[in-house]
Structure 1
Amino acid sequence: MQIRNSQATQPPPWMSWVLFAAAGYNLVWGAWVVLFPEHFFTLVGMEPPRHPAIWQCVGMIVGVYGIGYAIAATNPLRHWPIVLVGLLGKILGPIGYVDGALIRGELSPAFGWTIPTNDLIWWVPFGLILWAAYRDRPLKTPEAEAVPT
């Protein structure tokens, strides 16, 4: 009988460090956008948004992700769904940027300055955490599923 239980497996410490770093980054970035919604645009030479509350909502969402990453850091293999949702956002964000800025021209290319630190640097570590969680999933064998008679 071969059953693996992610509750018993201790993940490597780097996984928690990465997730705590992502949590801190997202909380700081989200607070910056909520408190100073025009600052990023000034830094990259873009016109500030006409409706900064929409940009502040983005900051709030990013900050909430930070809370999720902090929770996931306590047990990365158990809380892999949080990491999965985060990785999906970090993949879909750049896709949206390419579509909006580079293909349709609706977004300034300067907005791309957010992509490396908000998204790209997290792809590999989040992917490795998810791979480890997948490998650590419980395996059921015919012997484990057999009903005692």
Structure 2
Amino acid sequence: MHRTCQGNNCRLLHRMKLVLIIAGLYHLIFAAWANFWPCGCYDLFGLQRPEHPALWRVIGLISGALGLALLLSARDPIRNWLIILLGAIKSILAVAFVVPAIARDDLPVTASWILLINDIIWLPPYLYILWAAIRAHAGIPPSRGVPYTIAEASAVYRLSSGETLAKASGERPLVLVFLRHFGCTFTRQILRGLQDLEREARKNNASLVLVHMLQSGTEVDYLGHNSNILRIADPRCELYRAFGLGKGGFLELFGPQVWWRGAISVIKGCGVGHLAGDGLQMPGAFVFHEGKIRSSQPARSAADLPDLASLFQYPPQQP
């Protein structure tokens, strides 16, 4: 997979590598300590020495194997995400077993220091790297390293009617509704209300245009009787990028507000389908006229729906 390294991305990648190197070295040191001084950790934290030091040495060997794997994964954290996933699973399982044991007094509270140093402090960076890997692997990469400008994209992309976006926007205002993937419950909610959106657009002498991430023609399976609405296919999300719509962060896609609104949408019967598009892509709505954005509503979360009444409250055009 091709990845570019520019600006802040390079700094983040460097930090990922540094964290993995430190984690790898720590686990190797812990492995040596557990094997050469199997009771040293217990003595340090005032714990009763184990009756079977060999078992503790085996745990140390597992830690050493993980340490070597983490050092190898530091060469390319995104590509070697599976190793980081194993590290995260190991930390999660340790927390899941040790914390209840402490709560039941099966282990003394001082055992939490071992859990903290050996597992808990590594879990956040593991999860961060895994999230970065998801973002890097999700969706189809754009064919261009440099995003289209609005003018370039308008000249290249065509509506389902055949005319370019530039030509169509010169004839009348367009309401461009950029959708999330078709399996998203919020996209389904938009599709259920398409007639209302179209009616609001016509009231303002504009045409409604849906922008989606499927290959041209395949979207009709999701539109049903609304397949007469104008559409633009953008499977590589290059038009999305031209209009400033990027990939969502964790809170934008999975935050409390998204879960709450999503539950309401499902209860209303919108449901959830399979992933049909880039699951990380953020939606938005724009009034586009004469090759220019007249009004915009970029989504702040995946749950944001287009509000055309507010979208058309933009200053009048200057002569």
TM-score (norm 1): 0.84
Q: Cα distance, 1:84 vs. partner? A: 0.7
Deviation readout 1:97-138 (Å, 9 max, x if unpaired): 1122222x2222221111222112112211111111000005
Q: 1:89 aligns to what?
A: 90
Q: Superposed, which structure 2 residues align to 1:54-93 within 5 Å?
A: 54-93=55-94
**Larger relative contact order (CA 8 Å, sep ≥ 6):** 1
Root-mean-square deviation over aligned CA pairs: 1.7
Matching residue's letter, 2:3: A
SS in structure 2 at match of 1:109: coil
Summarize the alignment of residues 11-30 of structure 1 with structure 2, pairs less than 5 Å apart: 12-30=13-31
Cross-structure match for 2:3 = 8
Determine if contact 1:94/1:115 at 8 Å carries over to the other structure. Answer: yes
Would you say how many aligned residue pairs link Structure 1 and Structure 2? 138
Q: Aligned with 2:84: secondary structure?
A: helix
Separation of aligned partners in 2, 1:17 and 1:9: 19
Q: Which has the higher helix share?
A: 1
State the partner residue of 2:125.
125
The structure in which a higher percent of residues are strand is 2
* Cα shift at 1:62: 0.7
CA distance in 2, matches of 1:89, 1:81: 12
Cα shift at 1:9: 4.1
**Inter-partner Cα distance in structure 1 for 2:112 and 2:118:** 10
The change in CA–CA distance for 1:115 and 1:9 in structure 2 (over 3 A counts) is farther
Give secondary structure in 2 for the equivalent of 1:65: helix
Following superposition, the deviation at residue 51 of structure 1 comes to: 0.6
CA shift at 1:71, angstroms?
A: 1.1
The range that moved more, 106-115 or 61-70, is: 106-115
Identity among equivalent pairs (%)? 32
Higher Rg of the two aligned structures: 2
AA in 2 matched with 1:125:
P
Q: Which amino acid aligns with 2:107?
A: L
- Per the alignment, residue 115 of structure 2 pairs with 115
SS at match of 2:50: coil
Structure 2 residue aligned with 1:147: none
Gaps of 5+ in 2: 141-213, 216-234, 237-319
Q: CA deviation at 1:43?
A: 1.1
Asked whether the 8 Å contact 1:9–1:136 carries over to 2, the reply is no
Deviation by residue 1:5-34 (Cα, 9 ceiling, x = unmatched): 3x4344621110000000000000111011
